Structure 1
Amino acid sequence: MPASFTLSLIEPAVELAGEHPTSSLIANILAAGRELLRHPVELLDGVGATLIELAARG
């Protein structure tokens, strides 16, 4: 998921930069994506049980 999220950040950056984003901008976006990968997913209270219930429903 973070990889696709990182890509979704790069696409608008290209648009906002007028088709010429700087390499440092892209590097910063990639660094943010790598940082996201370092953190475990933390579910909000009740989300785990909800996912189990939804999975059981098929």
Structure 2
Amino acid sequence: MNPALLTLPAAFGLAGASGLNATLPLLIVSLLARLGLVHLASPYDALASDIAFYGLIVL
């Protein structure tokens, strides 16, 4: 098998893992804020909005 063909799945795997590591904590904080378990200060309270929550789910 051509080694060049294996680099593309490896690149997508690494990119997916790094993207998940960046958005998963924000999604958890957003969910906790929506449930009322965490109270966020002024600039960060936008994470509890519908747009931010559903946007983080899509990411």
Q: Give the TM-score, by structure 1 length.
A: 0.34
Bigger relative contact order, structure 1 or 2 (CA pairs below 8 A, ≥6 apart): 1
Q: Give the TM-score, by structure 2 length.
A: 0.34
The structure that is helix-richer by fraction is 2
